[in-house]
Each structure stands twice: as structure tokens, then as C-alpha cells.
Structure 1
Amino acid sequence: MFNFKPMSKTFTSTVPPSLKKGDQVAIVATARYADLKILEFAEQLLESWGLKLNRGKNLLKKHYNFAGNDPERLEDLQWAMDHPELKAIFCFRGGYGSTRILEKIEAKKFMNSPKWVIGFSDVTALHNYIGTICNTASVHATMPINYKDNSDNALRSLKQLLFEKTMNYCIDSCAENILGQASGPIVGGNLAILQSLSGTKYDCNTKGKILFIEDVDEYLYNIDRMLWTLKHAGKLANLAGLIVGGFTQLKDNDDPFGMTVQQIILEKVKAYHYPVCFNFPSGHFNDNCALGLNLPVKLIVGSEKVELSN
């Protein structure tokens, strides 16, 4: 039997225009530093899609682990957000650093002329900013540093979302899933970033929405702690649904934590009655499929298949 969680209200976000051949786009780095050879490969790929590439002027700078210092990374991001002719901003990579520049971003010009911001992992901080402060859709997807290793499916999903605004996924279900159907906009991203922004003005509203989470290189006990933070903050109680992407390269102590990541998550949501999908193909791996954040979707979690579409 399905649980069905309809949208409790109508959610409306600003949706940037679809990309088309000839559009100008930019690559910037808001976190860790860029690599020239990898950058050139990514530019060639995007140019093969018919896009015209622009680089942030500080893109290839390096300041310790960062792509330039905070003012330099902010300058590139602000330039791209304000640029009247750019239609999308591709964040080169994650790591750490986007959170450090959030409070200095000026949103007015971006809100008057919205454009797609694309990335994942540390870029979740920007997604939260864009969704919460600007009420604008963005794209959780692979980044230029990963294009060379990404699956054709991952790159195709990114192109389809940017050029056609469509998502249409059908994957195998798994035993841990909670069956049901839900409709609503997707919010979320990297669990560590979501938890770090909880209680701030960049915190995302999850009520009536489909929350997506993923993470990498974390200890099981820390995943447990971060999810308790979200639960205590009321972020899990009123969801329309939950999508769990990749939780990869997980670590445990010599004395085991004693629970799998699926068990950790189910413990937090067992009291609620919404569908839960595990093993969605989005996260820190090559088959990292694109998700439109703050775009409404329908989620069907069945015993054999899981479908997600807009």
C-alpha cells in the first residue's frame, strides 16, 4: 500500500530560462582551487553543447587550498551573478570555501536576471543561498572537475535539465525503501553543509518538500549526529518525501558504531509517514545525475522501481 503525500501548498520559485546554443556561461571556483588541464577539458565539453565559455578572472588563482582568497572568489561569483548576458554559472569544484563568502553576496541583480547555478557538495551552501534568499531554482549536479570521469548518463542528465528543464528517472527499488508517492519541490544537497547552515538565515525550509541528502568521507557516528541535528530542528517532521543519494567512502571507528547508514536514517524518520528512496544516483560518484532544486517533481517509490519526474 502506498502512502501519498500531496503538496500542502503551492510552491513557486523563480526558474531561470532554459539554455540554448549560443548562450554565454561562466565557470568560477568558490571553494578549492582549479586545475588548468581539467578546466580545458570541461570547457571543450560545454562548448560541444553550443555554449560560449567565460572564465572568472581569478579562476586559476591559488591561496592555500582555495581558488584565491575570499575576496577573489567572491569577486568572481558576484561578477557572474551580476553579468547581464550570462545564462549559467558552473562551479568548478567543491571542497570547502563557499560558506565563507555567503554573507558578502549581493543578490539584487541576480534576482532581476536569474541564471542557473550548477554544482554539488560544498556548493550546497550556494544552493541554500539561492533557494532561501533569492527563491530561485538551481541545479545539483556534477561539476567541471568531474566531467572527464562522469558517466554519459550523468552528463546527459545535466544537459537535459539545463536545456529542457526536464528530469525523468526510473531506478531499481531496494528493500530499505519506504513505499509511497509524493509531490513537491526538491531541496537539500550535502548533509554536512545542510547541517552547518541549520538555524542560519540560509537554512532551507523543508516543510512540504522532498528533501535530498548525500555525503562522502564521513564517520557513521557523525552522520548520525548530523541527522539528529536536522531532526531536532524539525527538518524531518513535515517532509513530503526523502531521497537519499550516495553516502560513499564512509568510515567507522575500531569499535563499530553498530548501524548502517540506512538504519541511521530510518531511525530518524520511522515516526513519519512519507516515502523514502535510498540509493538514488546522485552524489560523490561518476554516475552523478542532475536534480533541479526548488523545482516541483513527483516521486513514486514502488516495490520494484522508483520514479522521479517533473
Structure 2
Amino acid sequence: MTLKPVRLKKGDTVGIIAPASPPNQENLQRSFAFLEELGLNIKMGEHVYDQYGYLAGSNGNRLKDIHNMFQDQEVKAIICAGGGYGTARIASDIDYSIIAENPKIFWGYSDITFLHTAFHQKTGLVTFHGPMLASDLGKIDAHSYSKQYMNQLFEPKRLEYTGDLSELEVMVPGKAKGKIVGGNLSLLVSTLGTEFEVDTEDKLVLIEDINEEPRAVDRMLNQLYMAGKLDAAAGFVIGDFNNCIPDREQSLSLDEVLDHYIGKANKPAVKGFEIGHCSPHFSLPLGVEAALDATNKQLTIDSGIK
């Protein structure tokens, strides 16, 4: 099942939540001007400014903000302030019937990957992998290219990513079609063995990460491989692996690790997409049909809204 949310229009209200770690407050405040430029009104979650160690509030309060924003009929979209850590702690306590009965735009990435996966697998909701307010859009040097892709929330439009946007490299040639799923590699691996285990069967799988040494990426891809998740996929979209460099002289490179596992799967794959912890950052819907022409370095993605 695919459940697309309704498009935004000027004058709509967007809800802001912090379901993971405490967001940078200066960047968060600065991001509001961008949302207002889009013609949107802002409604803050009750616990956005909470802090509980490395979490933006207790499990119960972060959970409450998610439920409240989906149930609030005034709110037409939910945008995450930032990522970090903590969404997996609340996933099993979410009332997914609330989300299924109130489908709306849900936007974020990084640690939010766990929620993207859980929401789609429990309800079929299409969610959006895109730059967040405090982490990206509210920064002084926020890239205009990152901002412009939020326009996809206002009008149904097929997205296309070609070599004109960034330097792409063919890993395995060929063509593949399927729903696009995935996101942060660390979070995808953390779903294994849980009720939210990522489903890659006949899917285009997006992976990206940050601050993970090649040996850590190797370990995570090997776990996905041994779990059958790589062989099951239709193809692979390799996003940005920011600062994923070795901290020792004797190491495989990140490219050697990626080439090894993607080569073992032997499904159409392209790397070099500016998707993830990077600037600029290409945003896209997850859970919609997409087509990868790896030979010609083209990715097309259906609209995530209706």
C-alpha cells in the first residue's frame, strides 16, 4: 500500500518537532524565516526545546509531540528540527493508527530514517528524506539548492537526478525499478531483527552516512548482506558518505568497501548522489516508485504528494 499525503499550499501550517536529539537553537530560530518565505505558518511542538541528555526530551514527551502533530487538523506537514539519536527508542510506542488515519507530509533524514522506515512499513505513508531546520536549512550558509527542493511539497512533480547535479559514477550498469526506500545506513542496520526491519525486496535502496570509518561501513554492509537485504534489492542509490575516512594507515578506502558489497549484490547501482549529510542536499520522497538507469546515470522518482 502507498499512502501519499496531500500537497501544501500557501497559508498552511507546518508543525515542528524534535524527535531525536536537541536541535541547535540559533539555527532553528533562523530557519523560521525560510518557512515564512514559503508562505507557511509555524506551530511548535510542545517539547521541541526540551533536553534530556542526548535526547530532545523524554521518550514520552517526544512521542506525545508526534501523536499531537499528526492528530492536529490545523497542521498539514511535520518537519523535524534535527536528527542525532533517539527515534528508535520511541518507535515501538507510536500509535500507527493515528498516522494511518491522519496522513500528512513528514520531513527529515539521518536518525529520522528509523521513523521513515517504521511509518511506511506500518501504514504505507510516503515520507520525505530532506534537509532539516536546525541541522541544515537554518545555517547561515544554507545552500539555496537544498532549499529549493522543498518546493516539491507544493505541486506533484516527478523528480529527476542526472549527472548535471553532481558527478555520478556507475558501479553496476543496467536498469532497475521499484519503490525507493532507505536512508541512513546505521539506522537501517539498527532495524534488523525488529518489527520495523527494512524491507528491500525489489526496492531501490538509498544509503548514506556520516562520520563512520570504512571498517564500520564494511561491518554494516556485511550485516545487510548476510541478512539478505542486498541480494533482495532491485538496485542501489549511493548517497553522500560525509567524513567516512579511515583513522589509521592500514585501511580499505570507503570506495573499496562500497564496491565490494555492491559488486557482490550485482544489481544496478550508481554512487555520487548529493543525498545525505551534505550541502547541497537533494531531497526526495521515500516509498514511491522510482527508476534507476545506472548505465546512463539517471534517477527518476515519482511525486510524493497528491
Q: TM-score, normalised by structure 1?
A: 0.90
Query: Cα RMSD between the aligned structures?
Result: 1.7
User: Are residue 93 (structure 1) and residue 70 (structure 2) matched?
Assistant: no
Q: Secondary structure at the match of 1:54?
A: strand
Query: How far is the alpha carbon of 1:176 from its aligned partner?
Result: 4.8
1:135 pairs with 116, 124, 128, which one? 124
Counterpart residue number, 1:236: 230
Asked if structure 2 preserves the Cα contact closer than 8 Å seen for 1:244 and 1:278, the reply is yes
CA distance in 1, matches of 2:59, 2:242: 29
CA distance in 1, matches of 2:273, 2:226: 25
Counterpart residue number, 1:210: 204
Change over 3 Å in CA distance of 1:166–1:47 after alignment to 2: farther
Counterpart residue number, 2:179: 185
Counterpart residue number, 1:302: 295
Counterpart residue number, 2:218: 224
Deviates more, 1:31-40 or 1:17-26: 31-40
Change over 3 Å in CA distance of 1:163–1:175 after alignment to 2: closer
Asked if structure 1 preserves the Cα contact closer than 8 Å seen for 2:239 and 2:272, the reply is yes
Query: How far is the alpha carbon of 1:21 from its aligned partner?
Result: 1.2
Deviates more, 1:244-253 or 1:88-97: 244-253
1:167 pairs with 153, 159, 182, which one? 159
Q: Secondary structure at the match of 1:252?
A: coil
Q: Secondary structure at the match of 2:56?
A: coil
User: Are residue 277 (structure 1) and residue 266 (structure 2) matched?
Assistant: no
Asked if structure 2 preserves the Cα contact closer than 8 Å seen for 1:183 and 1:297, the reply is yes
User: Superposed, which structure 2 residues align to 1:1-310 within 5 Å?
Assistant: 12-145=1-134, 146-147=136-137, 148=139, 149-161=141-153, 163-171=155-163, 174-258=168-252, 260-303=253-296, 305-310=297-302
Overall identity of the aligned pairs, in %: 30
Structure 2: 5+ residue runs without aligned partners? none
Counterpart residue number, 1:5: none
Q: Secondary structure at the match of 2:189?
A: helix
Asked if structure 2 preserves the Cα contact closer than 8 Å seen for 1:299 and 1:308, the reply is yes
Query: How far is the alpha carbon of 1:175 from its aligned partner?
Result: 4.6
Change over 3 Å in CA distance of 1:43–1:125 after alignment to 2: same
Q: Secondary structure at the match of 1:129?
A: helix
Deviates more, 1:75-84 or 1:190-199: 75-84
CA distance in 2, matches of 1:45, 1:90: 13
- Which letter does structure 2 place at the counterpart of 1:306? Q
Q: Secondary structure at the match of 2:89?
A: helix
Asked if structure 1 preserves the Cα contact closer than 8 Å seen for 2:245 and 2:254, the reply is no
Q: TM-score, normalised by structure 2?
A: 0.91
- Which letter does structure 2 place at the counterpart of 1:297? A
Asked if structure 2 preserves the Cα contact closer than 8 Å seen for 1:161 and 1:290, the reply is no
Deviates more, 1:247-256 or 1:237-246: 247-256
CA distance in 1, matches of 2:238, 2:169: 14
Counterpart residue number, 1:9: none
Change over 3 Å in CA distance of 1:81–1:193 after alignment to 2: same
Query: How far is the alpha carbon of 1:165 from its aligned partner?
Result: 4.6
Deviates more, 1:85-94 or 1:263-272: 263-272
